[in-house]
Chains A and B, each alone.
Chain A
Amino acid sequence: MIKDTVKQALQDLFPDPEPVAEEVVAPAAEGADTDEDKKKPVKKKEEPRVNGVLERDHAEHGYDIDVQLDPGELLAAVMIIDKAGFFLESITGVDWIKEDQLEAVYDFSRYDFDTCRVVIRTRTPRSAPKIPTISKIYPGAGWHERETHDFFGIKFDGHPHLVPLLLPEDADFHPLLKDFKP
């Protein structure tokens, strides 16, 4: 199973076993949340997620492995993914304005019947969002990163051509930021 090998390889990026052990608690809490909050709108914001590797139920979430890491570790993780023969599905962002952070989300999947979708997330401060580019590893990331830069203003360090792709060429606004006013 490719899932286990990739999970193991990604796990090795986090040498300290402590945050991983802590991490196992978080999905359980969230899973319980899913079942229970049919009636009461549970709006208690849990602690921000600790970096680490999580295994997700494909039927429930649509992906198998969910990794959160620091931008510095991104390239190492993507290289593992590349070596395992994954293709790049998409890159996007999420604006977590309450935590004052921007998240970049990378989806990878495989051309294989041994299905496995890996989601890599990395967070960067909203004031100076900066993430290294992965377009050296996956040239297809070029467009996705330009799009994410358009919508969220995340600077992809080392991108060869980070100019607006979908927005007008002189656009200086980022419409998917939660504080964007048209």
Chain B
Amino acid sequence: MSGPIHIQPGETFTLNVGPQHPATHGVLRVKMEMDGEYIVKAETVLGYIHRMHELMGENRTYPQVLPNLSRLDYLGALGYTHGHVLAVERAAGIEVPERAEYIRAITVELNRVASHLFWFGAFVMDLGGFTPLMYAIQDREHILDMLEAVTGSRLTYCYYRFGGLYNDIDDDFIAAAKAFIPRMRKSLKKYDALVTGNIIFEKRLKDIGPISAEMCRKYGATGPVARGAGIDFDVRKNEPYSVYPEFDFDIPVYHECDSLARYKVRMEEMEQSLRIVEQGLEKLPDGPIMPAKKPKLIKPPAGDYYQAVETARGSFGIRIVSDGGKNAYRFKLRSPTYSNMSLFDEACEGMMIMDALAMMGSLDLVIPEIDR
């Protein structure tokens, strides 16, 4: 099949982005109908790594499902496992000691910083700058080392238990976290100087990839995508859970609705997460990390329970329909990027392809989490 392709004026052609494409950061495929460089119509095709976690949730007991949750989003896994333990604790009425909740909040926020760092590096690399990725990974490595020491794994954590934690944090962790905060603050300044004001970077993102607040609402977008569209929504504030009401932190919101706004939201969120970690370490109470009384077999009473948490990517929801047995009758995972990505088809119509890919990067996709 050789020979040049002749495109007649007004004629469109189909372009497959993915399933194996570096810009999609995973096995995601977008079927684009192109008119030259412009996208006429796009259709996202999913399911390349669909593993049916929801059926596994029905076939296994609640503790057996614990490791599954960290296989959804490998960059910010703790947020997802947090959602699961909170949902089961709500359903089964398990009390959690305060120290455990503090440690959960500290580790989740550290994991959020790690996730945003990786996104930052990968996003700038999508736009052609390779160096920031190296810096970002270096900082992220510190977090992964810290978390590895307490959780036992680098990415796919299974650290939280129903009612508490798998093990307590030690002085090494506290010292490392305390040393990390000023280091990270310095790095954030460095990233700002390195990337944010860059003229090429700005031209690729400013006023590009508009996602309006109304579009967010119709598609159910949450997290930094919604906050970049001027929506002041963060589950940690709007529907407080765990010990988040104890912390003093802000929700960065930008009203520009473009890719640059989503970038700025995430960069500022890292600072806010550091503030939470700082306060958490300061206020960390003494005490047990597991409740004294805990049911041997977790059997939530029959009913329908929902729990939303704010992960690095948005509002993650988990629904447990229980029939009183030791397995869930229905186990639904509401993944944030699934909703965030669903607006891509509409939003990218009429855009140039490189702008659309920059916008896709600003959505912060993790494909295993979309496909579940």
Distance in angstroms from B42 CB to nearest chain A CB is 13
Select from chain A the residue with minimum beta-carbon distance to B304: A61
* Structural contact, B342 and A61, CB atoms closer than 8 A: no
**A112 contacts which chain B residues (CB < 8 A)?**
233, 238
Distance in angstroms from A82 CB to nearest chain B CB is 9
Which chain B residues in 225-266 approach chain A with CB under 8 Å?
Answer: 226, 231-233, 237-239
Which chain B residues in 191-237 approach chain A with CB under 8 Å?
Answer: 216-222, 226, 231-233, 237
Known contacts A166-B46, A166-B371, A175-B52: does B219 contact A140 (CB below 8 Å)? yes
A164 to B304, CA, bound (A): 27
Contact of A62 among B93, B219, B237, B308 (CB under 8 A): B308
Interface string of A56-98 (1 = CB under 8 A from B): 0001111100100000000000000000011111101011000
Interface string of B81-96 (1 = CB under 8 A from A): 0000001001001000
**B233 contacts which chain A residues (CB < 8 A)?**
111-112
What size tier do the contact residues of chain B reach?
A: 35 or more
**A63 contacts which chain B residues (CB < 8 A)?**
306
* Structural contact, B219 and A34, CB atoms closer than 8 A: no
**A41 contacts which chain B residues (CB < 8 A)?**
299, 324
Contact of A89 among B46, B226, B301, B334 (CB under 8 A): B334
Select from chain B the residue with minimum beta-carbon distance to A34: B301
Which among A87, A105, A115, A175 has the greatest number of chain B C-beta atoms within 10 A?
A87
Distance in angstroms from A40 CB to nearest chain B CB is 11
* Structural contact, A94 and B219, CB atoms closer than 8 A: no
Distance in angstroms from B60 CB to nearest chain A CB is 15
Distance in angstroms from A174 CB to nearest chain B CB is 11
Known contacts A89-B315, A89-B334: does B219 contact A176 (CB below 8 Å)? no
Q: Cβ of A42 < 8 Å from any Cβ of B?
A: yes
* Structural contact, B237 and A113, CB atoms closer than 8 A: yes
* Structural contact, B47 and A90, CB atoms closer than 8 A: no
Q: Cβ of A107 < 8 Å from any Cβ of B?
A: yes
Distance in angstroms from A97 CB to nearest chain B CB is 10
* Structural contact, A167 and B317, CB atoms closer than 8 A: no
Q: Cβ of B319 < 8 Å from any Cβ of A?
A: yes
* Structural contact, A61 and B306, CB atoms closer than 8 A: yes
* Structural contact, B238 and A113, CB atoms closer than 8 A: yes
Interface string of A149-182 (1 = CB under 8 A from B): 0010000000000001111100000011000000
Q: Cβ of B161 < 8 Å from any Cβ of A?
A: no
A107 to B262, CA, bound (A): 25
Q: List 13 A-B contacts (CB under 8 A).
A: A34-B301, A60-B305, A87-B222, A89-B308, A89-B334, A95-B330, A111-B217, A138-B220, A140-B219, A151-B54, A166-B372, A175-B55, A176-B330
